[in-house]
Amino acid sequence: MDTSRHFGFVGLGNMGLPMARRLLAAGHALTVWNRNAGKAAELVRAGARLAATPAQVLEAADVLGICVKDGAAVESVVFGPDGLASAGPRGSRKLVIDFSTIEPAQARDLGRRLRERTGASWLDAPVSGGVPGAEGGTLICFVGGEAADLEAARPFLAPLTARVTHMGPAGAGQTTKICNQMIVAVNVLTIAETYGLARRAGVDVERLAPALAGGFADSLPLQIFGPGMAAGRFEPTRSAVELMAKDIGISQRMAAELEADTPVSAFCSTLYESVRAQAPEVFTGDVAGLVRRYT
């Protein structure tokens, strides 16, 4: 294993922290930054260096990963005060990998602007698999950008992912992730409706996911979130409704721009927005909590 290059990580939330932890466990030198520096404490104890700014991470690292909440957060850590772009020419020949889920057009724009300011390359590389995948190194990664940059990124990606697919030029990784999220967002709402209906009909809902396992209705979301819906166990670290709503919202803006007909996803997006308006405690919680809308 090549551990000669220095890696960096910006954003130590529910996904970023276990990803950074895995890079350290693989023996890589690691510099990290997080808006709340306290979240980096365990990584520092394990040997990571804590930077004072995102720019310092880019200056120290050969390859840097970003994993933050949304497009505004990515914009902030790249072009905000002391952001990556502040490194200027010291970022030349560096590689930035963005694991966040953002608009494909924004991914293309961020990469272009950062390259102009610093000479650094950019890959949009959103992931699927949630917190369990981040903890276990089994994330599925969709990559947009130059093939040569992806090859340079592979030692960074190896401890984090089970599969990496190069989807095409800049923005293609984000487009693929939004396709993924369209399927997931519709699926989890349908699962919540199903559990609500089954409970009202007197079915033992704790048996529902095991009963459907292996059939055409089976899915990872059913097996992950179904038991939580049955038991009333809502764990916000798994997957927040507001993030699902953000992603399905991106799909609808893309559909409008491309004149694509997506009526099911459009209705799904409307339902998520109704949850925001009517049940904010559900909107900010785990997607398993959607079942509370239907029971």
pLDDT at 292: 85
pLDDT at 278: 86
By the 10 Å C-beta count (0-12 exposed, 13-18 middle, 19+ buried), 60 is classed as: buried
Sequence spans of domains, the chain: 6-169, 175-293
Residue 270 has pLDDT above 60, yes or no: yes
Cβ atoms of residues 122 and 145 within 8 Å? yes
Give the CATH fold of the 6-169 domain. Answer: Rossmann fold (3.40.50)
Cβ atoms of residues 68 and 36 within 8 Å? no
State how far the Cα of 204 lies from the Cα of 199, in Å rounded to an integer. 7
Q: How many CB atoms lie within 10 A of CB 82?
A: 15
Averaged pLDDT, 25-39: 96
| Tens of pLDDT, residues 180-191 | 999 999 999 999
pTM beyond 0.75? yes
State how far the Cα of 240 lies from the Cα of 2, in Å rounded to an integer. 36
CATH class of 175-293: mainly alpha
Residues forming the active site: 177
| Tens of pLDDT, residues 173-222 | 999 999 999 999 999 999 999 999 999 999 999 999 999 999 999 999 99
Same fold, 6-169 and 175-293: no
**Which region holds residue 187: left if phi is over 0, alpha if psi is between -120 and 50, else beta?**
alpha
Residue 236 has pLDDT above 70, yes or no: no
